[in-house]
Chains A and B, each alone.
Chain A
Amino acid sequence: MWLWFSKLGSPKWFYELSGKWLPWLIAAMVVFMTVGLVWGLLFLPPDYQQGFTSRILIVHVAVAGTSLAFFPLLLVSGTITLVWRMKLADMVAKNAAILGAWFSFITLATGSLWGSVMWGTWWEWTDSRLVSMLFQLFLLLGVISLRSALEDSETAAKACALLSIVGCINVVIIKYSVEWWNTLHQVSSPVSMDTQSPNGPEFWIATLIMIVAVYLFLSVSLILSTRNEILERERKSQWVQDLVSKS
């Protein structure tokens, strides 16, 4: 178990293994993205209240739900960096923060584009779901700037781990905000198998496909940028030199 764990932390090992996984992950991502987007744009029936704006929601819900995974990921990788000094975890954390900020931004933008027609407003400062999501974006921007200001230092790792704890508490607040303080953002619709129901199977299966597609995209993008980080940080090692001379 310990041998496996320290092997997993070795950048070289990760680089080789992820190289084998990437083609499969990319293929699965392309399949799910294509099915999800074609279904969303062509086949999804209009909602009885929202018309075709329900098509916005399959993208919005998938990106928003996935964006909640970043702070738990940052907390886990931050802990591994601080406790076991694993370099790989730190490289993942650096790129996850940047990708997470993208996810949070896209969540807010797609939500606004839906809200502007369905709620009649782009933004509502009194809505807890909207404000806590904006707070997540700012926290991630905070993590990114902290890391770039205190490059690769112990202080940076500690400060970011601390911010990740705040971020994880905020994730819980985002998740339950619609139930605790009900202002504007609606609660999650219950899943229904009934084809006559407004949120029947076509709608939630399309959402589910998009969620899988977005998670696959997250993994592919994060693996690609982590591999770049490995090449840069390990450029003096023999295996990178060999790789470069072969390329």
Chain B
Amino acid sequence: MLDAIQFSSFAEFIDMGGYGFNVWSVYGLFAIFVAVNLVLPLRKKQKILRQLKRRMMLEEEIKSEDS
């Protein structure tokens, strides 16, 4: 299977037959696009849960002070 790799050196792999800039830009852009659209919603969930938890604790405090 390894013979099917199209490159014999790392420099060749980076160069992509002379189209290195374009090929790597596309794959880089795609990686950013995928990462951003998975990481942002995951981080937002943590933030929402933290906020809701804080609000819940505040409400309980107010309730215990009232009684």
Known A56-B22, A224-B38: A102·B56 in contact at CB below 8 Å: no
A114 to B5, CA, bound (A): 22
B58 at the A/B interface (Cβ < 8 Å)?
Answer: no
Q: CB of A221 within 8 A of chain B? A: yes
In the complex, how many residue pairs between chain A and chain B have their CB atoms under 8 Å apart? Answer: 96
Q: What 0/1 readout, one digit per residue, does chain B (18-58) give for beta carbons within 8 Å of chain A? A: 11001101110110011001100110110011001100100
Query: Are A59 and B26 also in contact (CB < 8 A) when A117-B19, A232-B48, A244-B52 are?
Result: yes
Contacts A42-B6, A43-B6, A55-B16; is A228 near B45 (CB within 8 Å)?
yes
Check if A113 sits within 8 Å of B26, measured CB to CB.
Answer: yes
Task: Given A43-B4, A99-B37, A106-B33, verify A244-B53 contact (CB < 8 Å).
Answer: yes
**Once the chains bind, are A53 and B41 in contact (CB under 8 Å)?**
no
Determine how close the nearest CB of chain B comes to the CB of A35; give it in whole angstroms.
13
Report B-chain residues with C-beta under 8 Å of the C-beta of A113. 22, 25-26, 29
Kindly state the separation between the CA atoms of A56 and B52 in the bound complex, as whole angstroms: 44
In the docked arrangement, what's the CA distance between A117 and B25, Å?
13
A110/B29 in contact, CB under 8 A: yes
Whether A46 and B17, one on each chain, are in contact in the complex, defined by CB atoms closer than 8 angstroms, is yes
Q: A224-B45, A228-B41, A244-B52 are in contact. Are A52 and B29 (CB under 8 A)?
A: no
Most A CB contacts (10 A, CB to CB) among B6, B7, B33, B53 go to: B33
| Total number of A residues with any Cβ neighbor in B under 8 Å | 41
Shortest C-beta distance, B16 to chain A (Å), equals 4
Tell me whether A186 is interfacial, beta carbon within 8 Å.
no
| Whole-angstrom CA separation of A63 from B26 in the bound complex | 11
- Give Cα A41 to B41, complex, Å: 28
Q: Taking beta carbons and an 8 Å cutoff, which residues of B are in contact with A?
A: 4-7, 13, 16-19, 22-23, 25-27, 29-30, 33-34, 37-38, 41-42, 44-45, 48-49, 52-53, 56
11 A–B pairs (Cβ distance < 8 Å), ordered by A: A41-B27, A52-B19, A53-B23, A55-B16, A60-B26, A217-B37, A224-B42, A228-B48, A231-B45, A245-B56, A247-B49
Given contacts A45-B6, A102-B33, A224-B42, 18 further A-B contacts (CB under 8 A): A42-B5, A42-B6, A51-B17, A51-B19, A52-B18, A52-B23, A55-B16, A63-B33, A99-B37, A109-B29, A110-B26, A117-B22, A217-B37, A217-B38, A221-B38, A224-B38, A232-B48, A244-B56
Binding site for B on A (CB under 8 A): 33, 37, 40-46, 51-53, 55-56, 59-60, 63, 99, 102, 106, 109-110, 113-114, 116-117, 217, 220-221, 224-225, 227-228, 231-232, 235, 240-241, 244-245, 247
